[in-house]
Amino acid sequence: MTWNIGGKSVQSRLLLGTARYPSPQIMRQSIASSGSEIITVSLRRESVGQHNGNRFWDYIKASNAHILPNTAGCHSVKEVITTAHMARDLFDTNWIKVEVIGHDDTLQPDVFGLVEATKILIEDGFEVFPYTTEDLVVAQRLVDLGCRIIMPWGSPIGTGKGLRYIESLKSMRHRLPDVNLIVDAGIGKPSHACQAMELGFDGVLLNTAVATAVDPETMATAFGKAVEAGRQAYQAGLMQSSDRAIPSTPLVGKPFWHENPL
């Protein structure tokens, strides 16, 4: 089923990063295997090998995917704004994933800088994909500024711990029913991605779990299937848990056999 995101229509709800792959060729194969139609690119990334930089950009341009530039590595609003304008000129898109790093060790977003930068960029015509924490108040503030997309973390970047803030994520989904919510960061296994989709989230963005796998292409395929399965399960209506056992075979109409007393 078509997903409308940021003014564009796509089929896949998996967004894939382009960093840390062993080679540009493996990156290209992984993107294709995942089925992802949106890939995120950092202008601050280092080329994969001295002689692979040009091939990286060639593969990005030839992927036919929608490019979501990001401001990874930025620590201030000024850096974010400068990077966003460079990205718009380079990729000819008004999409920008806004990251403002607040702490070097945890890579936790600076939500105050995020809100400030988002306000400036929206006023300048950008479609902002803000990377934030699980905080509902921050998410609502971003929506009030005009964001149609919110990207809360599942857990800190690169940890692979999955969804550590499940109750907060559930609350965000419940409180913001008309906003595209994409779980971004901390996804380490296909089951984590499936779980996010089962909660009703609209998409999942990940990078490290695919790029650093022993077989990135196969892992990318697994994540693509997991996102699709989680979405289908959510739409079908998940079984509610119960504190007591409930027989799968009802007793109504069940014949009872009695021994002949004779």
Q: Which residues are catalytic?
A: 97
| CA atoms of 30 and 137, how far apart (whole Å) | 36
| CA atoms of 243 and 11, how far apart (whole Å) | 38
| CA atoms of 11 and 147, how far apart (whole Å) | 22
| CA atoms of 79 and 248, how far apart (whole Å) | 58
Determine the distance from the C-alpha atom of residue 142 to the mean position of all C-alpha atoms in its chain, rounded to a whole number.
17
Tokens 């009695």, residue located: 258
- CA distances (Å), origin 113, targets 68, 137, 151, 208: 20, 15, 15, 25
Q: Residue 162: how many CB atoms within 10 A of its CB?
A: 18
